[in-house]
Structure 1
């Protein structure tokens, strides 16, 4: 895997089979991905390789991601979404 993927490739990878995932992942890449550390960017790329049902369960807090670094990133993405789309 290359160090960091281009933004356009990441945005393409954010296109998921579930709209709920699209609305979390795409804005995060557009607005916050570049502020992540290289390790976090690589972790995000690894997160995008996960199956949609797993991602959905983690983002909806039905399950906890077994990888602690990815679980932390899920929380970062959820926090970003809360800041940009407060209820």
Structure 2
């Protein structure tokens, strides 16, 4: 539970749109993530707001982030 609350706290960002998407993700998908999914989500939260937002709205098509795609697709679905 502590890990979930820490992740929820990290979802509080500077962009309102990003806050909304991340909170919906937490409500819908976070509890079902396995260890690898949680690590991917934590790695995504390390990105600056604008970079993360561009990835979510598919403006950043960088193949170098292929290892983050499973969780990124879930974020894009909310």
Q: TM-score range by the shorter chain?
A: 0.7 to 0.9
- Find out whether 1:30 has 2:30 as its counterpart: no
Higher relative contact order (CA 8 A, sep 6+): 2
RMSD of Structure 2 on Structure 1 (CA): 1.8
TM-score by length of 1: 0.77
Moved over 2 A (4+): none
Gaps of 5+ in 1: 82-87
TM-score by length of 2: 0.85
Gaps of 5+ in 2: none
Structure 2 SS opposite 1:63: coil
The structure in which a higher percent of residues are helix is: 2
